[in-house]
Amino acid sequence: MTAALSIRIPPEIEQRLEHEVTRLNTTKSKYVQDLLRQALAPKDPVALLMQIRSDYGISPQVSMPQTDKSRHSKELARQAVARKYKRQLPGDTESL
C-alpha cells in the first residue's frame, strides 16, 4: 500500500525539480521517492566515520586508546568481589 504526501516548496525549487525530472525523463513522484529512499537508507557507521575524518582532516590512522581490562577481566572480577566482601586476596599487600 502506498501513501500520498503533500508538501509545499518554493517556486525556485519547483522550477529546478521540473527541470531535473524532464532531464531524467521521470516523474516527480519517482524522483522524490528515490531521493527519500537514498536519504533514509541505513548508513554504514564505518564509512560515515571515515567520511567525517576526511572532511575534518583527521588521520584515519588514529586509533582508540587501548586498555587491558578485557585481558584481565577475571582478575578484576576477583578484586571487585574481594572488595565487596572485604577479603584480602593472596599476594595483596594492601589492606582493604
| Element housing 74 (H / E) | helix 73-84
| Phi, psi at 8, each rounded to 5° | -105, 130
Tens of pLDDT, residues 17-50 = 999 999 999 999 999 999 999 999 988 888 888 8
Tell me the pLDDT tens digit for each residue of 51-92: 888 888 887 665 666 666 677 788 888 888 888 887 766 666
Minimal CA–CA distance to 86: which of 74, 96, 75? 96
pTM greater than the 0.85 cutoff: no
